[in-house]
Structure 1
Amino acid sequence: MYKLWKWYLGKSFISKISVGFLLGIIVGLIFGQSASVLAPLGDVFLNLLKMIVIPLILLTIIVSVNNANPKELGRIGGKIFPYYIITTAISVFLGLVIAKMINPGSGLELPTSTNMEVSEAPSLIDVLLQIIPANIFQSLADGDVLSIVFLAVIVGFAISFMRNSTESHMNEWGSLLLKLMEGGSEVSFRILNGILQYAPVGVLGITASTIGNQGLHTLQSLAKYVGASYLGVAIHMFIIFSILLLIFKVPVLKFFRDIREAMMTAFVTASSLGTLPITIKNAHKAGISDRVANFTLPIGATVNMNGSGIHFGVGVVFAANIVGYDLSIGAIVAIILTGTLAAVGTAGVPGAGLIGMSIVFTQAGLPIEIVGLTAGVNVLTDMVFTCCNVTGDLIGAAIVDKSEKKHIMSTKDAINETTSN
């Protein structure tokens, strides 16, 4: 038994998770809805990831803040947020273009008995206010990522100021706190490594129950909608993202090879936040510095929604074809702007996809009841949209890291030149 366990540990994560995924498909197809008996295996995996993600975010950001200065963090933030906005706008446009070529929704009818209850989208002021937690323990319990990032940043700065204090006792306390945080961060990663050994079993449970309940027949009536979604994501990930990597001189094939574990996990779990521990681990594997990865990836998992942008673009054309609505150039521009703001602005809100889609539909004058038509295949499209979101997070981190390293090198060259003179 011990030898078998050692053999299992020696296999790569991607091979183990691929086997679990393929076995899940086979079991789901053979046993149908009976395969849902394996669903608890997937629930355990997701719960384990959710268990470790909050301490991982909190501790790694606190350590990252102490390893950087406020000027560096401001510069990183000034680079990553424009990236989020621009790539999300591109994804909405791409979704529109692909959907216009494929024309999903043709031949379908508007459901007459679908009652959609859509939560009101939060205002910008509400979103900003929610970042500042009224109760830090409640934010930790609820997994409110933006609030936790805010908390980690201010705690990190407080510890940094203590470590640099002229008072000896304050300096000692700050150093002690940082060591505790570094130790806690290491413990989190060790727990994560244990969770990853269970991952193939969890993936098998998720895939088998999903395929068993949904079945491949769910694709038949909405095949064009699903096809447009997958094609849009494929182009965005492997063409647009590759161009960005080439521009910033990041080796494309090596980078995708280094992050394939995060991509696969995101696809299976359909959860950016649940995948975050593996995303951070893969960022280190891809050579992205800790100070960039630990700061940008938790924010990206909540804010960066390239896959959602494609979702909105495809969804609008899908709905327009059903009701016979011809999208004008002005309407397309408005949809791109609205879709970008909806993808970023509703991130982290429960039912964000539903709220965001409803905002875009309202802007375009389309009935939100059509969202109900896509419910049957949401589980299949959410998988690929989440994969795109997580890939986009890592691409952004890699680009910013490359830019930061170039900035550091130019600064060193300037200092050396000044010294030599």
Structure 2
Amino acid sequence: MEKLWRWYANKSFMLKMTAGFALGVVAGLLLKEHSSLLTPLGTLFLNLLKMIVIPLVALSLIVAVNHSNPKDLGRIGLKIFPLYMITTAVSVVVGIALATWTNPGEGLSLPTDANVNPPDKPSFIDTILRMVPSNIFSALAAGDILAVVSVSVIVGLAILIMRHSADLKQQEMGELLYKIMEAGNEVVTKILNGILQYAPIGVFGITANTFGSQGLETVVSLGKFIGTSYAGVIILLVVVYPLIMKSFGVKVVKFYKDIKEAIFTSFVTSSSLSTLPISIKAAERAGISERVARLTLPIGATMNMNGTALRLGVAVIFAAEIVGVSLSVPELASIVIVGTVTAVGIAGVPGTGLIAMSIVFTQAGLPIEIVALTAGINVLVDMIFTCGNVTGDLVSAKIVDQTEKWQEKKLLNQLHKG
């Protein structure tokens, strides 16, 4: 048994994950509806990731803030948020342009028995207020990542101020708290390493259930929508992201090799938040400084939804074709704006793409009943859209890190000259 464990543990993570995925596909196609028997394997994996994500985000941010200073935090924020907005808007445009060419809604009709209630559109003020929870422990228990991020930054800043206080007692308490947080962060990392050993089994369970539960008829009828969705994210990965990275001097092929585990995990789990622990480890391999990675990735997992934004662009054209509506250039421009804001406001958990579609359809005056038409293949398209989301988070983090390194190099050169 020990030899078997050593053999398994020594295999590369990607090899084990690929094997789990491939075996899951085969099991799903063979077992069909009976593949639900394997669901607990995948549910356990997702539960383990969700269990670790809140302490990981909280402790990582507190430690990262203490590796920086308030000036650095402000500078990184001023870089990352505009980058999120730009890449999200570009993703909506790519989705609209590609769907206009492929016509994914051609030949389909509006479902007559669909009943979808339009969700409330989250306002900017509501989003800001969500960042300050009335009860910290309730926010932690509910897994409200936006609240956890803001509270962690506040706690981190408080500890940082104590550590640099003129009062000796404040310094000692600050250092003690910092060491406790560092120790806690190390414990979380050890637990994460154990979870990753189980990951291939979890991937097997998730994949088997996904492919076993999706009827072939549904997949074939919405083949164009699925194909356009996958093609759109592939364009983001092989054209849009590389062009952005090249302009900042990033070695694209090496970067993708370094983050491949995060890309694969996001595809299988369909959750940006569940993938976050793997994304943070991948960022370290990609040479992104801990300070930048641990500050930007938790925020990106909540706010930077490039794949979801692309989905909205595809979905609007899809819906317009079904009802026979021709959208004007000003209408498309407004959809880009609404889609960008909606994608940024949607949390990184599975299924939120359907909610985002409902919001954008309502704003565009399109029947939200069409959302029900895509619900059957939501799992399949969520996989690729989440892949676009997570890759976008890592690309943005790498670009910010690159500019930070340029700035540090510039300061060093000025000091040498001085």
Q: TM-score, normalised by structure 1?
A: 0.97
Deviation (angstroms), 1:350: 9.1
Unaligned runs of 5+ in 1: none
Deviation at 1:126, TM superposition (A): 1.1
2:42 corresponds to which residue?
42
User: Quick one: distance in 1 between partners of 2:122 and 2:242?
Assistant: 34
Shift of 1:120: 0.9
Q: Residues 229-244 of structure 1: matches in 2 within 5 Å?
A: 229-244=229-244
- Quote the residue 2:154 is aligned against: 154
Aligned partner of 2:183: which letter?
G
What corresponds to 2:251 in structure 1? 251
Q: Which residue of 2 aligns with 1:72?
A: 72
RMSD: 1.2
Deviation at 1:254, TM superposition (A): 0.7
Aligned to 1:86: 86
**Are the aligned partners of 1:29 and 1:215 in contact in 2 as well (CA < 8 Å)?**
no
- Residue by residue over 1:340-399, the C-alpha shift from the partner in whole angstroms, topping out at 9 and shown as x without a partner, is 111112336996423321222122221111011000100000000001000000000000
Residue type of the alignment partner of 2:290: D
Query: Is the CA contact 1:121–1:355 (under 8 Å) kept in the aligned structure 2?
Result: no
Question: Which 4+ runs in 1 deviate beyond 3 A?
Answer: 346-352
Q: Tell me what 1:263 maps to.
A: 263
Contact 2:28 2:207 in 1 (8 A): yes
Q: How does 1:9-158 map to 2 (within 5 A)?
A: 9-158=9-158
Q: Which moved further from structure 2: 115-124 or 349-358?
A: 349-358
1:154-193 alignment runs, 5 A limit: 154-193=154-193
Cα distance in 2, alignment partners of residues 398 and 235 from structure 1: 19
Q: Distance in 1 between matches of 2:32 and 2:47?
A: 24
Q: Distance in 1 between matches of 2:75 and 2:25?
A: 45
CA contact (8 A) 2:351 2:378 kept: no
Question: Which residue is equivalent to 2:199?
Answer: 199
Identical-pair percentage: 57
Looking at structure 1, the residues matched to 24 and 351 of structure 2 have their Cα atoms a distance apart, in angstroms, of 27
Q: 1: distance between equivalents of 2:345 and 2:265? A: 25
> What CA distance in whole angstroms lies between the structure 2 residues aligned with 1:260 and 1:73?
28
Q: Distance in 1 between matches of 2:382 and 2:348?
A: 15
SS in 2 for 1:250: coil
Show the counterpart of 2:358.
Answer: 358
How do 1:401-420 residues align onto structure 2 when only pairs under 5 Å count?
401-418=401-418
Counterpart of 2:292 in structure 1 is: 292
Letter in 2 for 1:151: V
Residue 398 of structure 2 corresponds to: 398
* Cα distance, 1:5–1:202 mapped onto 2, change above 3 Å: same
Q: What is the TM-score with the length of structure 2 in the denominator?
A: 0.98
Which residue in 2 is equivalent to 1:310? 310
The 1-side partners of 2:117 and 2:338 are apart by 21
Give the paired residue count: 418
Consecutive unaligned residues of structure 2, counting only runs of 5 or more, are none
TM-aligned CA distance change 1:390 to 1:350, over 3 Å? closer
Residues 148 and 314 (structure 1 numbering): CA distance in 2 closer, same or farther, change over 3 Å? same
Number of the residue aligned with 2:219: 219
Once the two structures are TM-superposed, the CA of residue 136 in structure 1 deviates from its matched residue by 0.3
Which amino acid letter does the alignment assign opposite residue 275 of structure 2? T
Q: For residues 301-339 of structure 1, what are the alpha-carbon distances to aligned partners after superposition, in whole Å with 9 as ceiling and x for unaligned? A: 000000011100010111011011111111111111111
- Residue identity opposite 2:63 in structure 1: V
Q: Find the aligned partners of 1:160 and 1:332 in 2 and give their Cα distance.
A: 46
Instruction: Return the alpha-carbon distance in structure 2 between the equivalents of residues 111 and 406 of structure 1.
Output: 54
Deviations 1:159-187 (A, max 9, x none): 11111112222111111111111111111
Shift in alpha-carbon separation, 1:214–1:44, aligned structure 2, 3 A: same
**Counterpart amino acid of residue 179 in structure 1:** K
Question: Where do 1:303-342 residues align within 5 Å?
Answer: 303-342=303-342
